[in-house]
Structure 1
Amino acid sequence: MFRYIGLLSLAITSLSFSQDCNFTLLGELSDFHDGTPIVSATIYIKENDRYITSDFDGKFKIENLCKGPLTLTISHIACETKTVYVNITGDTFKAITLEHHIEELGEVSVTGNSTKQETNTAQKAVIEVNEIEAFSSGSLADITRTISGVSTLNTGNNIVKPIIHGLHSSRVITMQNGVRMQDQEWGLEHAPTVDVNALQEITLVKGASALAYSGDAIGGAIVLRPIKAYNRDTLVGKTIAVYDSNNRGYTVSSSLFKSYKEGWFFGGQGTYRRFGDSKAPDYVLSNTGLDFKAFSLQSGYRSFEESFNVYYSYVDNEIGILSSAHIGGIDQFIESIESGQPSTIQGFTYDIKDPRQRIRHHLVKAEYERRFSNLGKLSIQYDYQSNQRQEFDRRRGDFRGVPSIDLLLQTHGLQTKFLFDSNSNVKVQAGIQSQYQDNFADPATGVFRLIPDFQRFDIGTFVTSEWKLDNGYLLEGAIRYDFNHIDAQKIYREFRWEERGYDQDFADIVVDENIAPGQLLTNPVYDFHNISVAIGAKKRIDKHEFALNYSLSNRAPNPSELFSDGLHQSVARIEVGNLRLGKETANQLSATYTYQNSRFKVLVEPYINRIDNYIFIAPTELGIRIIGQAGAFLEYEFLGTDALIYGVDLNLDYLLSERLSIKNSTAFIIGEDLKNNEALIDMPPLNTRTTIQYQNKEWNSLAVGLTSDFFAMQNNFPNYNFLYTVPSTGEEVLVDVSTPPQAYHLLHFNSSIETKLFKKNTLEIGFSIQNILNTSYRNYLNRLRFFADEVGRNFQVQLKFNY
C-alpha cells in the first residue's frame, strides 16, 4: 500500500517539474487619453513577489512564466494604481492603459491651496473650502462678495444675491454640482437656494468657458462644487458649529463620506440654522429671523474609465421680512424716510411672523461618464428641480395664514457633452443641453397673480476649445446657439391692458375677453434665437502675464420682466412687466494684467460692456398707484434701454514677512443709460477691502486678521423722485426714492487656531467680530434701506471638528 502511495507521489512530482515555464509576457503601458507611453511605471508581480519597471517606450517583459493566472499591480506618479489579471497560456502580449491625469476623475482636485483651473484666458476667481467654512452661517453672496468686482443686492439682511460687474439675477447663473439652479432667480428678492456648507469650492467663470454652461450668463457663471469623496478607501467627516451674538443665531452642519478603493462611494451632509431678530446699533430689526434646514445625499462609482453618480439635495428656508418694510401705503413710506428709524420696533424674538417667505427646493441629479482611449470623455446627465416659493403678508379673515404668492416651478434638464482631450495642446468640448419648465401660480391665494402660469422650453448647443501654441500663447474660443420658447396663460385687468396700449399692439393674443368681470385672458407666446461667441488669448512673459477677452452674449427676457402685474407685498410695491421687451445683446471686452514675484502680486482687470435692450426695473412716471382699500403704493415697471457698463478691478497681495501679509481688492464701476443720457439704477459704488493677516503654523496654525471695508457714496444715480399730495393735509411733498445713503467704513476681526484631539482628529476654534465699531450705516444696494439701518456689531464663535 505504502509502495503505491510513494509511486503516485513521485509521478505527481515529476509531472510538476516537467511543466513548461518558458513563456514570456510582453506588456505595453500607455496614457488612456492620448496613447503616449507611461515611462518608469512600477509593476508588481504578485505570484513571484518581485518588481519591475517600464522602459522609455512604456514596455516591460516578464520571462520564464508558467501557465496559469498572473496578477500585476501597476502604479505611477499622477496615475491611478491599477490591478490587471492575465491568464498565461503561451507567449502573451498585453496592452494596458492608465489614467495619467487622475485629478480629472473629480471635477476638481484640492491639494493644499491648489485647484484645477476652470478657465485660462478670462477673468476668474476660486474660493476654496477653508474660506467657505469661515462663512458657515452666511449665504453664497456673502462669500462671493470677497471677490473683487462682486457686490451684493440685499432685501434686508437674510436675502442676499450676488452682483458681478453691476449685473445680477438672470444674468448671473448658478451651477450646483453641474446643474443650473432654477429657483426663480429673476426676483430681486430671490436669493440662491444653496447650502454653503455642502460646498467644496466656488468658482466664478467668465469668457469662453462660461458658454459651456449657458449663453445668457452675461454677468458670469458661479460654479459650485459639492464635497467629494476621496479616491481611496477611507471614511472622513466634519462637524461645524457656529454661534452669532447679534441675532443669537446658531448653525450646526455635519458631513460624512465613505469611499472604497474599488471606486464605490456614498456620503451625506446636513445643516440646521436658526436666527432670531437681528439688531442695528440703535434698535432691534423686528421680524428678521431665519429658519434654515438642508441636507444632501450622494452615491456612485468612480474609476478612470467610467463613473456614475446620483445626487439629491433639499433646502427648506423660512425668512422673516423686516416688519417696518410692510407699509400700508405711500403715506407710511414718506413717514419712514423722514423719521430715520423703523416704524415698528419690538423686543427680540425667534418667532417669524408675517410678512415672510418660505422656499422649498428639491434637486435630483443622475450622471454617467465614460472615457474612450485616445479620444476623450462622454458625459450624460439628467436632473430635476422643484422650487416652491410662498410669500406671506399680513392678512385677515379667511385668508389669514394663506400666502399671497404661491409659485411652484418644476424643471427637467437633459444634457450630454463630449470632451476631446487626447491632444495635450488642443482641447475641444461640444455638447447639447435641453430644459423644460412648468410654472404654476396657485389661484387659491385669492390675490391677483403677480406671475402667471407658463411653460418654457430651452435647447442649446455649444463648442468650446483651447489651444496651446509653441510661442507661449494660449488661445480660447467658444460658440453657442440657444432657442428659448415661452408659452404663458396670463390674465390682465382691462384698465392695465388699455393703459399700456396692449389693446392696439397685442389684440391677437386675447383668448377670452370675459374670463371675469373687468379681466381678459391672453396667451402670449415668445420664441428667441440667440447666438453667443467668446474668444480669448493669454501670453506670459517672465513675471508678467497678459490676457484679452471678447464675448458676445444674448439673453431672452424672463417671465417676471415680461408678465409681472400686481402688488408685490414683500417689497411693498407694485411691479409691472413689459410685453414689448426684446432680448438683451451684450458685447463685452475685458483685459487682465498680472505681475507676480516671490513677495508681491498685482492684478488689474479693466472691462467694458455694451448691452443693447438692457432690461431694468425703475419707478414709473406716475410714481404711485392707489389700490382699493389697501392704500397707495410705489409703482415700478420693467423698461429697456441701451446701456454701457465699464470699470476696473484691482487686487494687490504683498508678503511683508514669512508670516505677515497684506491684501487689497478695489472695484470701481460706472453704468450709463445711453438712451436717456443718465446713470443706471442700482450700480455698486466704489468699494475697497484691505486685510492684514498674521499666520504661524508652529503655534497651532494660529491665524489673526484685521479687515477694513470702505464703501463710497454712489454719486452716479438716476433721479426718479416725484411729488405726492398727502390726502389728509393737501400738502405736496417730494418723495425721494433715488438719493443714495452716505459713505461708510467698517472694521472686522478674525482669528483661528487648530489643535489635535486624537491621532487623526483636529479641532479648529475660530473667533471673529463683524462691524467692530458698531457703525450705523445704510447700504445703497439694500432694497429695504428706506426703513432701517444695517446690522450692528456681531461676535461669532466657530468650532470645527474634523474626523
Structure 2
Amino acid sequence: MIQKIFLCVFFCSATFISSAQQCTYNFKGIVTDYHDGTPIFGASIFIKSLNKYATSDARGHFEISDLCPGKIEVRISHISCETKEVFITLDNSFFQEFYLEHHTEELKEVRIVATSKLKTKTLQSSVLKKELIDAYSNSSLGDILKNIAGVSAINTGNTIVKPMINGLHSSRIILMTNGVRLQDQEWGIEHAPNIDINTAEKISVIKGANALEYGGDAIGGVIVVSPDRVLVKDTLYGKSILTGQTNGSGFSFHTALSKATKAGWYVNAKTTFKKYGDFESPAYVLSNTGLNSQAFSLRSGLKKFETGFNVYYTYVKNNIGILKSSHIGNVEDLVHAINSNEPLIVAPFSYDIDAPKQEVTHQLVKIDFYKRYRNTGKLVLQYDFQNNQRYEYDIRVGADKEKPSIDLNLNSHTLKTSFEFDSKSNQTYKVGLKAAYQDNFANPNTGVRRLIPDYYAYDLGLFTIGNFVLNDKTNLDLGLRYDFNYINAKKFYFKSRWNERNYDIDFNHLIIGDFKTQWLVNPTFKYHNFSASAGISHQLNEKNSVLFNYALSSRAPNPSELFSDGLHHSAARIELGDLRMQQELSHRISSSYYFENEKTSVLIDLFYNLIHNFMYIEPEGTEQTIRGAFPVWGYKKTNASLFGVDINWQQQLTNKIDFNNKTSFIRGRDLVNDRHLIDIPAANTVNSIRYQNKKWHHFNATLESNFVFAQNLFPNNNFDVFIPTTNNTVLVDVSSTPNSYHLLKFNTDTSFKLSENSEITVGFTITNILNSKYRDYLNRLRYFADDLGRNYVLQLKFKY
C-alpha cells in the first residue's frame, strides 16, 4: 500500500516538474501605429485559450510570461482601432511587433451636416443619409437633393431632373458614383443623371470647386454618391422597398441582398424597377409623361486593412416620355402654347410612352485595388469603363416613324491612381493622376442633321492636396490641380451657316472636304486648366465655428457649347454652339458660420462666385426650316457674378417636437451686358415641424411648407415673329416668369419588429396637399402645362 502511494506521488511530482519546466516561455512584443510607427499605449493583448492578457505600456511594450509550447490565438485591440487576431506557434520565447490603425476614425471622410461642427472640414458640404434615401426610393437624384439648402433643379417635366448647386448645373457639376465620375452626356440641359439612388448609403454635396481630387472643373460643386459600407464579419442581410403612388398610377420596387465574411470577402446585389403612366396636374392629364426604368448593380471584392480590391458593375435603362404638347411644329405653335391656359394636347390617361421620348442606357464597370504601406500611407489604383447610349425620338411619319432623331453613343475609359501619405496624425498629403479617353459616335443614319458630331477626347489630370491640423481648434486645407483637355471632332457645316458665323474668317484652316453645300471640318482644341483651393476652419468655442474658403477652377467648353448646330428635337429648338468658346475661369470665395447648443443649431453658408468667359444658352430669334420657323437658342459667353446665402436652422421645441428651416437666396449678374443671368433659381424657404416618439414603434410625422418666390430678375429675351396664318407680327414672350407658389407636404412612418433580425417600416406621404396649380421657372415645360398635382404615396420597407 505504501509502495503504491509512493509511486503515485512520484509520477504526479514528475509530471508537475516536467510541466513546470516546459511552461517557461515568454511572449514579448510592441504595439505601434501602422501609419506613423508611434507606440500605442493601453492596447490589450489577450490569449483566448489561456485567458491571459497584458496591456501595452507608454512605449507600446508588453510581456506575457510562463507560457507552454504549442499554438495560441492572440487578439490585439485598442479603442478606435481595428482589432487584429493572429495565430502563433510557441516553441521558444517569442517577440513580435504588431501594427494597428490607431487613428482610423480620424481618417474617415467627414462631411458637414446641420448637426455637425465645422471644425471637421474646410468645405461647404452636406450629407443625405440612408433613411432619407430610402424614403425617396421611387424618386430621382435631382428630387432628393432639393432637401439641401442651396440645391435646386432644372427640369424638363417631372421625370428629367438635373441637379443645380448655387445656380450652376450640367458640366459645372461633377457627379461621382462609387468613386467613378459619371460620363453620360451631362452637357444636355434635358439629360438627367443616369443613376439609381438606391445604390447609395449616403449622398454628399460639396458646394464650389474645393474637392480638387474629383476634378478641377466643378465650378458649381461635386455630388458624391457613396455605396454601402462593407461589414467585415460573417453576415447575410437584405432590404426590399415597395412604393406605390396615385399621381402616375405607378410603383417602384427595390431589393438588395448582401453577403460578407469575417475574412473580408463580400458581394452585394441590388435591383430597382419603376413604372409610371401619365402624370397629372391639378386640372388635367399631362399626356405622354410616363416612365419605365430598370436598374441593376453588382459589387464584390475583398476588404482587408492592408490590401483589398473591388469590382463594380451597374446598368441603368430609362424610357422617358416627354409632354406631348411640348412638341411644337414651329414657332406659331409656341405662341399658341404660351397664350393657352391648358396644353394643346390632353389625352386620356395611358401607360404608353410615344414620341417625343428619350431612351437612355448607361453601363459602368469599375475595378480598383488598394494597398497600405506601413509608416507611409495608402495606394489606390482604379480603372473604369462607361457606355452611354442615348436615343431621342421626335414625332415623325412614314418610314422614319420608329427612327430616333438623335442617336449618340459615348464610350469612356478612365485610369487613375492616388497615394495618401497619412503617417502623421496632424497632417496628411494626397497626390493623384488621372488619364481618360472618350469616343463619341453620332449615328448619321437618323435621317436628321446631327446636333453633336463625332469626336474623341483625351484628358490628363494631376492633383495634390494637403490637410493640416494647426491646433485643436484650427484646420487648414490646400490643393493644386492641373488638367489637360484635348478634343478632336469631324463635323459638316452648311456653307451658309459657316459664313453667317464668320467662321470663314477665323477657321477656314479647319476645312478638310468640300461637299457642294457643306464643308467637312476637323476642329481640334487643346486646353490647359489650372485649379487651386485653400480653406481654413476654426472652432471659436464649444458652440461656435467658422470656415473660410477660396477656390480657383477652370472648365473647358463641352461639345454642345462648341459644336451644336441644328434642330434639337426633344427641346423643339435650334441650338447653335460657337467654336470661339474659351475656358471658364471661376474665383469662388465662401464662408460659413455654425452655432450649436443642446436645442439649437444654425448653419449659414455665404458665397461669391466671379466667372470669366461664363458660357450660357439663351433665345436669340427664329429661323425658318422646311417645317416652319423654330426658336433659335445660341451659346454665348460673358463675365458673370453669382452670390447668395443658404441657411439651415434646427430647433428642438420639446423632447419630441422639432422645427427646421432651410432658406436659399441667390443673385446672378451678367457683368458685360449689365443685366441679370438667365435660369437663376428664385429665393425659397422650406419650413417643417416634426413629431417623433420612439416608444410608438419609432413613429415620425412631419408637416412641411415650401414657399418659392417669383423670380423677378431675368433678362429680356423676347422676340417678334411673323405669323402667316394671321398675317400679324406678334411678340413671343419666352422671358416672363411664373408667379410665386406655396406647397404643403405631409409625411409619416412607423416601424414594427417582425423578428430579432427583421422589421417592416410603413410610410405614407402626401405632396401638394392643397392640389395647388403652379409653374416653376426652372421647368423647361412651363410654357406648355402646369406642374404636378396632389400625390398620395404609400411605402413598405422590409429589412431582414
Fold agreement, TM-score > 0.5 = yes
Q: Which runs of 5+ in 1 are unaligned?
A: 1-5
1:627 to 625, 628, 635: 625
What's the counterpart of residue 615 of structure 1?
A: 615
Q: Which residue of the partner structure matches residue 532 of structure 2?
A: 533
Over 3 Å counting, the alpha-carbon distance change for 1:113 and 1:257 in structure 2 is farther
Q: Which amino acid aligns with 2:320?
A: I
Residues 679-723 of structure 1 show CA distances to partners (whole Å, capped at 9, x for unaligned) of 000000111111111111111111001111111111110001011
* SS across alignment from 1:131: helix
Task: Name the structure 2 match of 1:246.
Answer: 247
CA–CA distance in structure 1, aligned partners of residues 421 and 549 of structure 2? 23
Partner of residue 641 from structure 2, selected from 644, 651, 659: 644
For residues 407-442 of structure 1, give each alpha carbon's deviation from its aligned partner in whole angstroms, at most 9, with x where no partner exists: 000000011001111111111111111110000001
Residue matched to 1:522 = 521
Seen in structure 2, the aligned counterparts of structure 1 residues 540 and 119 have a Cα distance that, compared at 3 Å, is closer
Q: Which residue does 1:350 correspond to in 2?
A: 351
Q: Deviations over 1:644-676 (max 9, x none)?
A: 111111121111011111111111111111111
Contact persistence 1:673–1:680 (CA under 8 A): yes
Q: 2-side partners of 1:186 and 1:677: how far apart?
A: 26
3-state SS of the aligned residue for 2:570?
Answer: helix
User: Which position in structure 2 is the counterpart of 1:222?
Assistant: 223
- How many angstroms does 1:601 deviate by? 1.4
With over 3 angstroms needed to count, the CA separation of the structure-2 counterparts of 1:444 and 1:66, relative to structure 1, is same
The root-mean-square deviation of aligned C-alpha atoms, in Å, is 2.2
- Give 1:23's aligned amino acid: Y
Q: Indicate whether 1:779 and 2:776 are aligned.
A: yes
Give the one of 701, 715, 728 matched to 1:718.
715
Amino acid in the other structure paired with 2:219: I
Does residue 334 (structure 1) correspond to residue 335 (structure 2)? The answer is yes
CA change 1:23–1:113 in 2 (3 A) is farther
Aligned equivalent of 2:748, options 740, 746, 751:
751
Alignment of 1:573-612 (within 5 A): 573-612=573-612
Secondary structure, aligned partner of 1:210: coil
Distance 1:329 1:118 in 2: 56
Q: Does 1:98 align with 2:103?
A: no
Q: Which moved more, 1:580-589 or 1:53-62?
A: 53-62
- The residue number in structure 2 matching 1:270 is 271
- Mapping of 1:125-524 within 5 angstroms? 125-206=126-207, 209-470=210-471, 472-514=473-515, 517-524=516-523
CA distance in 2, matches of 1:295, 1:499: 48
| Cα separation, partners in 2 of 1:119 and 1:491, compared to 1, 3 Å | farther
Kindly state the Cα deviation for residue 740 of structure 1 after the two structures are TM-superposed: 0.5
- Deviating more after overlay: 438-447 vs 85-94: 85-94
What is the alpha-carbon distance in structure 1 between the residues aligned to residue 116 and residue 292 of structure 2? 34
String of CA shifts for 1:281-307, please: whole Å, max 9, x gaps: 000000000000001001111111111
Residue 18 of structure 1 and its aligned partner are, at CA, apart by 8.9
Q: Distance in 2 between matches of 1:497 and 1:382?
A: 40
| Aligned 1:666-681 pairs, distance under 5 A | 666-681=663-678
Deviation sequence 1:504-537 (CA, Å, 0-9, x none): 11000001022xx411111000000011011111
Task: Write the deviation string for residues 77-126 of structure 1: whole angstroms up to 9, x where unpaired.
Answer: 2222211123334332100111234458987899x999999971121001
2:695 partner SS: coil
Counterpart in the other structure of 1:3:
none
How many residues were matched structurally?
790
Q: Which residue is 1:544 aligned to?
A: 544
Structure-2 separation of matches of 1:293 and 1:119: 38
- What one-letter code is carried by the residue in structure 2 that aligns with 1:86? I
Greater mean alpha carbon deviation, residues 394-403 or residues 290-299: 394-403
* Residue number among 690, 693, 702 corresponding to 2:690 in the alignment: 693
1:334 aligned counterpart, secondary structure: helix
State the one-letter code of the partner of 2:63: K
Is this contact kept in 2: 1:207–1:534, CA < 8 A? no
For 1:344 and 1:773, the matched residues in 2 are separated by 25
For the residue of structure 2 that corresponds to 1:757, the secondary structure is: strand
Matched AA of 2:656: R
Q: How does 1:756-775 map to 2 (within 5 A)?
A: 756-775=753-772
Cα distance in 2 for residues equivalent to 1:602 and 1:69: 57
**Sequence identity (%):** 47
1:428 match: secondary structure: strand
Deviates more, 1:253-262 or 1:72-81: 72-81
Of 778, 786, 789, which aligns to 1:789? 786
* Contact 1:545–1:593 (8 Å) recurs in 2: yes
- 1:152 deviates by 0.5
CA distance in structure 2 between the aligned counterparts of 1:119 and 1:649, rounded to whole angstroms: 19
Contact between 1:354 and 1:394, CA under 8 Å: does it hold in 2?
yes
Maintained 8 Å contact 1:102/1:304 = no
Instruction: Tell me the amino acid that sits aligned with residue 416 of structure 1.
Output: T
Structure 2 distance, partners of 1:35, 1:698, is 48
The 3-state SS of whatever aligns with 2:660 is: strand
Q: Which moved more, 1:759-768 or 1:208-217?
A: 208-217
In 2, are the aligned partners of 1:329 and 1:631 still within 8 Å (CA)?
yes
Per-residue CA deviations over 1:154-195 (Å, capped at 9, x if unaligned) read: 001100011111100000110000000001100000011010
Q: Is the 8 A contact 1:229 1:267 kept in 2?
A: no
2:786 match: secondary structure: coil
Deviations for 1:36-59, whole angstroms, at most 9, x for unmatched residues? 333333322144243333233322
Given residue 798 of structure 2, which amino acid in structure 1 is its aligned partner? F
Question: 1:444 Cα deviation (Å)?
Answer: 1.4
When residues 197 and 712 of structure 1 are mapped into structure 2, their CA distance, relative to the original with a 3 A threshold, is same
SS at match of 1:211: coil
The answer for the alignment partner of 2:36 in structure 1 is 34
Deviations 1:527-586 (A, max 9, x none): 000110111111111211111111110000000100011111111101111000000000
Check whether the contact 2:617–2:634 (CA below 8 A) recurs between aligned residues: yes
Taking the aligned partners of 2:236 and 2:34, their CA distance within structure 1 comes to 29
User: 1:16, CA displacement in angstroms?
Assistant: 6.4
Aligned-partner Cα distance in 1 for 2:103–2:236: 24
Would the aligned equivalents of 1:229 and 1:266 in 2 still touch at CA under 8 Å? no
Counterpart-to-counterpart distance in 2, 1:408 and 1:655 = 51
- SS class of match (1:324): helix
C-alpha distance after superposition, 1:113-141 (max 9, x if no partner): 99999971121001100011111111101
Asked if 1:734 corresponds to 2:731, the answer is: yes
User: 2:786 aligned with 1:799, yes or no?
Assistant: no
Report SS of the residue matched to 1:530: strand
**CA displacement at 1:598 relative to structure 2:** 0.8
- Aligned partner of residue 498 in structure 1, secondary structure: helix
Residues of 2 paired with 1:119 and 1:684: CA distance? Answer: 30
Q: For 1:697 and 1:656, how far apart are their aligned partners in 2?
A: 17
Name the structure 2 match of 1:659.
656
Using a 3 Å threshold, how does the CA distance of structure 1 residues 119 and 577 change in structure 2: closer, same or farther? farther
| Aligned partner letter, 1:738 | S
Aligned pairs (5 A) from 1:102-121? 102=104, 120-121=121-122
1:483-524 per-residue CA deviation (whole Å, 9 max, x = no partner) reads 00000111111111111011111000001022xx41111100
Q: Is the CA contact (8 Å cut-off) linking 2:114 and 2:602 kept in structure 1?
A: no
Alignment correspondent of 1:52: 54
Question: Structure 1's 714 and 310: CA in aligned 2 closer, same or farther, altered over 3 A?
Answer: same
Change (3 A) 1:606 1:556: same
User: 2:51, 2:594 → 1: CA distance?
Assistant: 53
* Structure 2 unaligned residues grouped into runs of 5+: 1-6
Report the Cα distance in structure 2 between the residues aligned to 1:470 and 1:119, rounded to whole angstroms.
Answer: 12
CA apart distance, 1:70: 3.1
Residue 682 (structure 1) aligned to one of 661, 679, 683: 679
TM-score by length of 1: 0.95
- Given that 2:208 and 2:218 are in contact with CA atoms closer than 8 Å, whether structure 1 keeps it comes out as no
